[in-house]
Structures are given as structure tokens and as C-alpha cells.
Structure 1
């Protein structure tokens, strides 16, 4: 029963029912965000995102789209954060990964517009160094962790119920 209870507890932690907010405990949201924030780790993550061809795939899926059609297209968190500039930058759409800066549209010296200055049309750079890309990656991973947590909770409950019912049946058979 102990491994089942541990599995159930871990599932609850991953789902977020048990808020473990510590940078020292592994596999907690705060710990994960801290790891992603660290530049050495981000370089490895960024190269993986680039190597998967996420932005290239986005370009191929939106070749014939005009600016309005692209603006209403549903993008994943990574596509929206890494492959295109943030909306606050007010850049003009050319294609999914090529945007032109409008002079004087935003004051890039302000902190919230730092991603606008980071954006480049180079296919190897795009917005991979942007905070929005890191945030999109964290959102995708937290969603996957939540799904894993639900699976662990369901499996833990199922196995605990099966274990208890087997125990009750054996006791019922033994004392009847």
C-alpha cells in the first residue's frame, strides 16, 4: 500500500492539488521554472525546440494565410512564444516567421517590451531567446505534468480499490 499512496500523493502534487512551492524539491513548478530560467539549461532546451522543427512546421502549415487569417489561427504555446514576436510588438506580418518592425510602434527600452528587441527574422534565432518562448515551454510541460498527475491519481485509486477489495474478499472467505 505504501507505493500506491506515494503514487497517489505524487499524482496530486503534479495536478496541483498539493501546492509544493519550493525550489529545492524536484519536479515542482517553482523548481522547474528556476531550471528553465537558468541560461545553461535554456540553451539545451532551446536547441531541442529548434531541432524539432516546430517553427518550420508552422511555416509549412500557414504558407497561404494572410495576416488576418494567421492572427486568428490557434497556435501552441511554444509556437506563439518562440516562432512569432509577441503581439505587443505590433510588427507587420509577412509570413509565420518573418515580421517587419514598425518604427516607433513600441518603446523597446521598457521591460515589458524586451522581447520585441530580442526578436530576429533569422530562422535559427527568431524569438528562442525571448521570455515568451520560455513561458510557452513551461506551459506545455506543466500541461503534460498535469496529465501525468491525473493518470497517477486514477491508477493509484484503481490499485488501492483493487487491493482493498481483494483484502475484503479474502477476509470474507476466511471468516465465513
Structure 2
């Protein structure tokens, strides 16, 4: 009748302590550095190989901003010339009517504006990358990490057994 109540025993050999690395970086400092000078947060996080990628994206985007803006200005000028009643000015695009010129002006303006948005996205991703990298710098990645893919058989309530593949990640 009398049941004995025993405390639950835990196996302490399977428990691991999580300790932060002493080389952990401050995410706020990394974000501030990247906001002031793109790539500075990556250098602070000791990942200087990312800096050429960031500046490559910025320089490429600046090229496309300039290219799209030049095309926009050209078609805008052609539209102004087309609309004036002065016969002494020569139409820059004689094969295009007013509707074609308007479509081109709108097209190149949209492209230019989109490249401005892409520039903002590159700048924001630079900051986000610095923050995430600083957060992850404090975690110890040991050699005990394993990923196993193996076949598995599981019993299901309604349909008997189910055969499949299981992916197991061991920390």
C-alpha cells in the first residue's frame, strides 16, 4: 500500500555547460560602426573579407543609379524637345512619338528610384550582418556538432508503420 516517493535522479554526464566566449563582440558597437562607415562593423567582428563584398555592392549600385539617371534625363530632354513648337530643335528619337517618350521617361525614372531603394537595402543589410555576426561571436562551436541522415521507421496510429528519412542534429 505504501508507495515510496523518490526524487528524480538526473544523469549529470549528459549535461553540458554553456559558456560564452571571452572574445564575444558587442552587437550595439558593431551596428554603430557599420552605420557610421559601412564595413567597419565587419572589421570589428574580425571578418574583413566581407568589406569588399559590401563596397562592391555599393559601387555597382552607384553605377546603375548613374546609368538610369542619365537615361532618364536623356528621354526627359527628348520629351521637352518633342513638345516645344520650335522647328529648329532636332528630335533626339525621331522613331518615337510622345507616348513612347513618356513610357521611356517613366521606365528610366522607376529604374533609378528602384536603385535608390536597393542602395538602402545594401546599407541596412550591412548593419544587420554586423549585428548578427556580433551576436554569434559569443557562441562556442565545438567539434561535437554532427548531422546524421538515416532511414527511420515510425509506427503510426491509423496506418501502421511509416518509413522515411530522419535528420538528427547532435549538439
- TM-score range normalised by the length of the shorter chain: 0.3 to 0.5
More helix by share: 1
TM-score (norm 2): 0.35
